[in-house]
Chain A
Amino acid sequence: MKKLLLATASTALFAGAASAEEVKIGLLLGYTGPLESTVVNMSKGAELAIKEVSDSGKLLGGSTVTAVKGDTTCIDATAATAAAERLITADKVAAIVGGDCSGVTTAVLQNVAKPNGIVMVSPSATSPALSTVEDDGLFFRTAPSDARQGAVVAEVLKDKGVKSIALSYSNSDYGKGLAEAIEKEFKAAGGEVTISAPHDDGKADYSAEVASLASAGGEVLVVAGYVDQGGKGIIQASLDSGAFEVFYLPDGMYGESLIEAIGPALNGSYGDVPGVEGEGIEAFKKLAAADGWEGTSAFAPESYDAAALILLAMQAGGAATSAAAKDKIMDLANAPGEKIYPGELAKALELVAAGTDIDYVGATNVELIGPGESAGSYREYTITDGKFETVKFR
């Protein structure tokens, strides 16, 4: 095994030194499982960046790039780890775009990426726990931590003059992390959290949960859950029993299906979802439209940025390896330098090759902070007349 690893490492080194070659990038996403519908366009986003770089012929003296897919299943850490092992040892990918869900991403990082020294850039893992994870400088994410969303939620609620909230969260890594962040930030802002109680997804009867929430009281019910799961049930039961009338809906609760299911009673509720405005996302939407799909699809812009950052970092490091790329990602993503938007990757490659500093803005105004995660920009929305209306970006 050791010999094999050594051989792998040495061939990778030699390969890195050679001029034109075939670079493989792993796409480690949940092609099956709870996120399977979202992942379709995330994968397309990453492939878009890879194709753009490959077609330009400017990466490391004309190297081509291909994407190799691996399935995380979103929930099964064993399956995700096995898929990552395969990508790294059999397919010999140089770096990984992924994983998607926080739990499997942590597992892959600890068990596979770190021992093999492979860079992972996740477009969608948002758990605050990933900010403090021991990563040897290999893990980055173009999605913001939910700790940031907690602050946004507290800000929005404060601006609306809300003084007390009840909090119901999905009994999952995502729900728990987000609920803790919201509770901490809202209390720090002087608000009162009357109750913070979990709800299990996939049940149909939520009367016990709503009874407790109603008893605790609060002006607004914050539902940190999933839109097609328990979150909907909690809202329905709250409305039916008259327990709450106004709801705050974080990113997991953003979806047309909620409005369809609940109807006019949802008018007046509000929430937030990751989102940006500006030149970057507009350029990305055009690229996606030319490719035949919707560029606003959740986490697809983040996926494009993740793949683009990896490849640009390789160019800057001078070799198609994780070792060369890992120290360059933060520099490229942040100011100062010439701003790079989606569709300008060829130009970026040239600039980097010439030694000019660039500031990769990408589709989501990438700005990496702290341990290498997106600073995060959120779109505050309200529901008016059965439609999502953007209030502003935070």
Chain B
Amino acid sequence: MDFANAIVALLNFVFVPATAYGAQLALGALGVTLIYSILRFSNFAHGDTMAFGTMVAILFTWGFQSLGISAGPLPTALLALPFAIAVTAGFVLGTDRVVYRFYRRQRAAPAIYIIVSLGVMFIMNGLVRLIIGVKDIDFADGGRFLISAGEFKERTGLAEGLAIKSTAAVTVVCAFIVMAWLFWFLQNTRTGKSMRAFSDNEDLALLSGINPDRVVRVTWVIAAGLATIAGVLYGLDKGFKPFVYFQLLLPIFASAVVGGLGSPKGAVAGGFIIAYSEVLVTYAWKKVLGYLLPDSMMPDGLAQLLGTDYKFAVSFAILIIVLLFRPTGLFKGKSV
């Protein structure tokens, strides 16, 4: 019984939240990595693209709610997703046309691209605040829990509860569908193959007749889609606030770099590594140990490796270690 309690406590406070957070980071990192490998720059506007996409999804969600359309037990925002992706893709293609294309034609250095994307970031930042405001917005509806902690305790008779939020479940399921689709798309379709060819060697790709404008457009659309999905899932799970999306940029880039910039597999692995390490390294093991150890062996303190205020330090420590010993990341991306 004690052993079961310990496992449930771990599941509830470590694995469930870290898996949901990891899936959200992985989706964000996929978008970053895709842009990096095909358009060859670090897109700092990605966090705010997520915010923009989520904002559009929220506006559509409100529209649907006022029309009385809902997705039953699922959040209405999922219905709004396709529309939000379309609008965001349109917006992102617009910025490419107005801003990035100019620098692409000039074959600008990556450093210039980064600064340009910073500019785009601030504009999107302001635009989102202007349209929807700076406050917290909770747009999750439908069933709140798959299993709530109280219910779980009642059914199993354990002292520890296990809660799985429906938004967390939706997040993980959606993330895996999207990732599976993306890998299939990149491996098996003509467009996907041309994107990989373009990423591997731009000149050879051009010689073999691949239309670069088309590749760029498709990349932006997919990146916008990934950003919107990641943003909406994150917002459903934790609430929407523009400032928070801006701050998400750091863990997302950490995930992408740890996994190997330019490697989609690496982005997924990196997302989960960062999420798990943030929670695991700062976890206080007191409760779990209390179930497993006899009283005489119980440690006095919280049995915590690092205070939770250091959780960002953890992901950056991993980032530095990876960059020192494997500059190309865990999955052989491009070196940074």
Contact = CB atoms under 8 A, between A and B. Distances in A.
The yes or no verdict on A and B being binding partners is: yes
Interface of A: 171, 195, 197-200, 202-205, 207-212, 214-217, 228, 232-233, 236-237, 240-243, 257, 261
Provide the main secondary structure of the chain A interface. Answer: helix
Interface stretch (B66-74, B105-113, B302-310): B302-310
Nearest to B248: A204
Nearest to B152: A242
B197 interface: no
B201 to A, nearest CB: 39
B22 to A, nearest CB: 11
Contact of A241 (B163, B278, B284): B163
Given A197-B307, A205-B238, A228-B136, A211 B283 contact: yes
B161 A242 contact: yes
Given A204-B239, A228-B136, 14 more contacts: A171-B309, A199-B309, A202-B241, A202-B243, A202-B244, A204-B234, A207-B18, A214-B287, A215-B283, A215-B284, A215-B286, A216-B287, A217-B286, A243-B13
Interface of B: 9, 12-14, 16-18, 21, 135-136, 138, 148-150, 153, 161, 163, 165, 234, 238-239, 241, 243-244, 247-248, 278-279, 282-288, 302, 304, 307-309, 311
Contacts of A205: 17, 21, 238
B282 A208 contact: yes
A211 B136 contact: no
B308 A208 contact: yes
A166 to B, nearest CB: 10
B214 to A, nearest CB: 36
A233 B150 CA distance: 20
Given A197-B309, A202-B244, A210 B284 contact: no
Contacts of B307: 197-198
10 contacts: A197-B307, A207-B17, A210-B13, A211-B17, A215-B288, A216-B302, A241-B17, A241-B149, A241-B163, A242-B153
Nearest to A242: B149
Nearest to B14: A211
Nearest to B16: A241
B230 to A, nearest CB: 13
Contact of B284 (A171, A195, A207, A236): A195
Nearest to B303: A215
Contacts of A237: 17
